[in-house]
């Protein structure tokens, strides 16, 4: 090269391989480089030689991304248990797929989990909205039976049983093979029937009743198949 003493063509600086001399800009000698990631970038000779610039910028982005992508798998945020990393949305926010205690799965921005802004799939807000229509004011009130069923279904033992059923079935509906979407753990022998047979009158009695928590009495169903199963059982009851 006639214009510069030092020819950097073909030399490697970090992730950058020098392709050609592209002249001077604002008094700086520039070299066109190919980055290992495939990008083409023009870099000042001084920045290459002193090691200040070693990539097109991809290395810095990768390091920033690694720091921001803390592994949240298995962690619990409110009612949400993190299942898997599903990438980034169009705004470059890291998204995590979570299993809610109610059985639904939902994709949540990492920042919303860590800040506490999102703690359920939305079921908690729905429950708060319907609180004024619960208990004796509810149209299904039957001397406390309905309230007890709800209380038992919200206890820790029930949530553990449901998670065990989901894990055994690999978070997949056993009827239609749908995966990780709005799942329900269905008692093959009805929950209320077991409660009645064992004379359960409190949450404590329910937690101590092993028949309620036998995972062999549970299957994983998606929301749609769960509705169909209950419709089938109602039809059988009417026929018998």
pLDDT at position 26 is: 79
Q: Are the CB atoms for 28 and 46 separated by under 8 Å?
A: yes
The Cα–Cα gap between 210 and 213 comes to 5
Q: Are the CB atoms for 55 and 74 separated by under 8 Å?
A: no
Which residue shows structure tokens 């101590």?
208
pLDDT at position 2 is: 44
pLDDT at position 240 is: 53
Work out whether the CA dihedral 189, 192, 193, 197 comes out positive or negative. Answer: positive
DSSP reduced 3-state for 37: coil
Q: What residues are paired with 222 via a beta bridge?
A: 183
pLDDT at position 66 is: 60
pLDDT at position 70 is: 78
The Cα–Cα gap between 113 and 98 comes to 10
Per-residue confidence in pLDDT tens, the chain, 240 aa = 444 468 899 999 999 999 999 988 878 889 999 999 889 999 999 999 999 999 998 888 777 666 556 788 889 998 899 998 888 888 778 889 999 888 888 899 888 888 888 888 888 777 765 554 444 454 444 444 557 878 888 888 888 999 999 999 988 999 988 876 678 899 888 888 888 898 988 888 888 999 999 999 999 998 889 888 888 877 776 665
- Please give the angle made by the CA atoms of 211, 127 and 204, to the nearest 5 degrees: 30
pLDDT at position 238 is: 67
């Amino acid at each position: 090269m006639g214009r510069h003493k030092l020819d950097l063509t073909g030399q490697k600086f970090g992730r950058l391989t020098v392709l050609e001399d592209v002249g001077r800009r604002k008094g700086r000698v520039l070299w066109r480089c190919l980055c290992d990631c495939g990008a083409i970038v023009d870099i000042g000779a001084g920045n290459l030689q002193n090691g200040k610039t070693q990539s097109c910028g991809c290395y810095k982005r990768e390091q920033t991304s690694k720091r921001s992508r803390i592994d949240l798998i298995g962690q619990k945020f409110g009612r949400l248990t993190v299942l898997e990393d599903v990438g980034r949305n169009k705004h470059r926010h890291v998204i995590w797929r979570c299993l809610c205690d109610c059985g639904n799965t939902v994709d949540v921005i990492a920042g919303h989990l860590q800040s506490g802004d999102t703690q359920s799939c939305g079921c908690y807000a729905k429950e708060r909205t319907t609180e004024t229509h619960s208990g004796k004011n509810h149209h299904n009130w039957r001397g406390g039976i309905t309230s007890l069923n709800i209380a038992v279904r919200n206890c820790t033992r029930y949530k553990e049983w449901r998670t065990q059923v989901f894990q055994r079935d690999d978070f997949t509906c056993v009827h239609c093979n749908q995966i990780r979407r709005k799942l329900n753990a269905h008692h093959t022998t009805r929950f209320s029937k077991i409660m009645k047979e064992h004379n359960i009158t409190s949450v404590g009695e329910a937690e101590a009743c092993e028949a309620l928590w036998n995972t062999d009495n549970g299957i994983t169903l998606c929301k749609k198949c769960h509705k169909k199963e209950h419709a089938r059982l109602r039809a059988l009851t009417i026929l018998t």
